[in-house]
Amino acid sequence: MIWSCNECPEGWTCTEDSCIPPHCSNGITDRHEGETDVDCGGACAPCRLGAACATGLDCKEGVCRLGACQAPTCVDGVANGFETGVDCGTRSCPLCPAGEGCLAGENCASGVCRGRVCQEPSCDDGVMNGDELGVDCGGSCRACK
Residue 19 near residue 5 (C-beta atoms within 8 A)? yes
Is the pLDDT at 129 greater than 70, yes or no? yes
Give the chain's mean pLDDT: 92
- Within 13 Å and on the Cβ side, how many CA atoms surround 37? 21
Is the pLDDT at 18 greater than 80, yes or no? no
Where does the pLDDT of residue 11 fall: very low under 50, low under 70, confident under 90, or very high at 90 and above?
A: confident
pLDDT tens for each residue of 92-125: 999 999 999 999 999 999 999 999 999 999 999 9
Strand partners, 13: 20
Where does the pLDDT of residue 1 fall: very low under 50, low under 70, confident under 90, or very high at 90 and above?
A: very low
Is the pLDDT at 68 greater than 60, yes or no? yes
Average pLDDT over residues 113-142: 96
Quote the CA–CA distance of 136 and 73 in Å, as a whole number.
34
Average pLDDT over residues 32-58: 95
Which amino acid, one-letter code, is at 51? A
Domain residue spans of the chain:
5-69, 75-145
**DSSP per position, 54-103:** SSGGGBTTS-EETTEE----TTSSS--TT-SBTTBSSSSSPPBPTTSB-S
